Amino acid sequence: MAKLAAGLRHRDWDGPALAGSSSSVADSRPADHAFTCRPAVFGDSRQIARFTCTAGEGLYEFLFDNLIPFVGAADFLTLAVATPRYPVSFSNWFVAIGDADGSIIGAANVFPADLLKHDDHAVLPLERRTHIRPLLELQDWGSMFLNALAVSERHRRCGVGARLLAWAEDKARQAGLDRLSLHAWADNKTAVDFYTKRDFVPLGVAEIPHHPRLPHVGGSILMRRNVSFR
């Protein structure tokens, strides 16, 4: 199940970089965009699954929809996030909480990329596994993998994504890993530009054939940034 989440996309690309690891934004932010951050908890699983589906830009619907009648991608992902033994477990997520209403407005998931080597994705039909195999196999082994970074549309350009990215880098340092890696759809220019401006460089492209249920062009780009130990 963990490896099936290895293609998450990243949906905030626009918050200004924040220095350090403060868990809240500056007081100058508009009141309705103020936020704090905290580690995710079990009760966040359903909301995190919804962010995951949004970030995947169709990937998870392609993988999980119609496997079981009346069970959609968000249901599969909720189970995975709620299960402690999976890398996509809530214990490996960090969430941003909007001060205005207390709801989750952004979330990020990281874990060592090498954990993907041990995942079993036999639950998927062979056709779906084969279609995304290039994405699953193209990884920067030995790095910390930023599996997901998603921010609600209303709260983009408010520094949420930058704060979550800073957390991901901190987690890499804590694990003694000197690189942070991620995947981004090549046709999501906004995401690619966001990471390029933050010193991520492309390492390769997973060529994913066009499919009516996964209509991306150009494949999935593996990107990496070195992590400094300070």
Please tell me which residue, 124 or 167, carries the higher pLDDT value.
Answer: 167
Question: pLDDT value at position 8?
Answer: 44
Task: Lowest mean pLDDT of 66-70, 103-107, 128-132, name the range.
Answer: 66-70
Supply 228's token pair. 């400094």
Question: pLDDT value at position 7?
Answer: 43
10-11 and 220-226 strand pairing:
unpaired
Instruction: Tell me what the mean pLDDT of segment 6-10 comes to.
Output: 47
**Distances from the Cα of 176 to the Cα of 46, 118, 156, 171, 228, angstroms:** 31, 20, 30, 9, 10
Grade residue 66 by pLDDT with cuts at 50, 70 and 90.
confident
The residues, any chain, with a CB within 8 Å of residue 106's CB and separated by 6 or more, are 12, 35, 51, 95, 96, 149, 150, 151, 152, 155, 160, 161, 163, 164
Instruction: Tell me what the mean pLDDT of segment 149-165 comes to.
Output: 91
**pLDDT tens sequence across 11-57:** 543 332 222 222 223 333 454 679 999 999 999 999 999 999 888 88
Question: pLDDT value at position 23?
Answer: 27
| Three-state secondary structure of 121-163 | CCCCCHHHHHHHHHHHHCCCCCCEEEEEEEECHHHCCCCHHHH
Instruction: Tell me what the mean pLDDT of segment 96-111 comes to.
Output: 94
Nearest alpha-carbon partner for 144 in 108, 166, 173:
173
Instruction: Tell me what the mean pLDDT of segment 134-150 comes to.
Output: 95
Task: Lowest mean pLDDT of 4-13, 73-82, 147-156, 158-167, name the range.
Answer: 4-13
Report the amino acid identity of residue 213.
Answer: R
Percent of the chain topping pLDDT 70: 84
Please tell me which residue, 28 or 74, carries the higher pLDDT value.
Answer: 74
What are the φ and ψ backbone dihedral angles of 98, each rounded to 5 degrees? -70, 125
End-to-end CA distance of the chain: 34
Question: pLDDT value at position 138?
Answer: 96
What domains, with CATH codes, occur in the chain? 3-226 (3.40.630.30)
Mean model confidence pLDDT for the chain: 85
